Structure 1
Amino acid sequence: MLKEFKKFISRGNVVELGVGLILATYFGAIVKSFVDDIVMPPIGQLIAGIDFSQLKYKIAEQTLENGTVQPVTINYGVFINNIITFFIVAMAVFMLTRIYNNFLQKKKQEPAAAEAAPTSQEQLLMEIRDAIKQQNSK
């Protein structure tokens, strides 16, 4: 069983999948930071200085054991940030996939070799074939 596991884990696809997962995790963190720290502040400024991450709806208050009152909220602003982040990540993945597919298509498209003209021997054989067809059709 240990040998099977070693064989499984050392296969190229598993290693590539692991690397892809790690890169995707950090790519997601970079995009989230891009949305939260770069994209959303100007958008919030354009719509009267609203910070989406602070948008929430208070539905109740909860008293903690130490006596402090904490509001219970629906954080719809964070949800809006996550939707925007999703669309930016989706667009980035789409663009990367498109570039990758274009690269693969260019690599696969090799110039088609022009059909070589028949050799003199092939030409002679074709003439003989055509002559036999003419005799049989008479």
Structure 2
Amino acid sequence: MSMVKEFREFIARGNVIDLAVGVIIGAAFNGIVKSLVDQVIMPPIGLLTGGLDFSKLEWVLRPEDPATEAIEKVSVQYGAFINTLIQFFIVAMVVFLLVKVVNGIRRADAAEPAPAAPPAPTPEEKLLTEIRDLLAKT
């Protein structure tokens, strides 16, 4: 089998396409969560903390020297990290809820009784079947 044909079969499988769709939707969802955290959740939290903007919190290791352009500021931006942690927890909660719903649906499907087997043929039906089979042989 040629490599191109094998690759085409691999891509055509449903699970690979489902994965691609999931990655694309996940990337779009990431933008929504980032906007939610940066523009909706963090401003009220900053207001409660006296107008503090978490995204600008940093620990300066070396301040910028305005006299010398060669020395740049070096800082640890822990405020941006806090925002990223909040984004992670929101995404984790949504994924958890999604998995919980899917598992509930799977449990409900598993709990449904299997369809009943067709009833056994009556003695008359067995006799008619035997007669049919004998007539077919002749």
**TM-score, structure 1 length as denominator?**
0.72
SS in structure 2 of the partner of residue 108 of structure 1: helix
The answer for the alignment partner of 1:48 in structure 2 is: 50
Question: Aligned pair count?
Answer: 113
Q: After TM superposition, give the deviation of residue 67 of structure 1 in Å.
A: 3.1
What is the correspondence of 1:42-121 to structure 2 with a 5 Å cutoff? 42-61=44-63, 67=69, 70-111=72-113
Gaps of 5+ in 2: 117-138
SS in structure 2 of the partner of residue 70 of structure 1: coil
Q: Greater share of strand residues, 1 or 2?
A: 1
Letter in 1 for 2:104: N
Percent identical residues: 47
**TM-score, structure 2 length as denominator?**
0.72
Question: Are 1:6 and 2:8 counterparts?
Answer: yes
Gaps of 5+ in 1: 115-138
CA RMSD, aligned part only? 2.4
What is the rounded CA distance, in whole Å, between the counterparts of 1:61 and 1:87 in structure 2? 32
Q: After TM superposition, give the deviation of residue 108 of structure 1 in Å.
A: 2.3
Deviations 1:78-137 (CA, angstroms, capped at 9, x unpaired): 0111111111111111111111111221222215789xxxxxxxxxxxxxxxxxxxxxxx
Deviations 1:36-79 (CA, angstroms, capped at 9, x unpaired): 11111111111111110010111114679x93753211100001
Letter in 2 for 1:102: G
Q: After TM superposition, give the deviation of residue 5 of structure 1 in Å.
A: 0.8
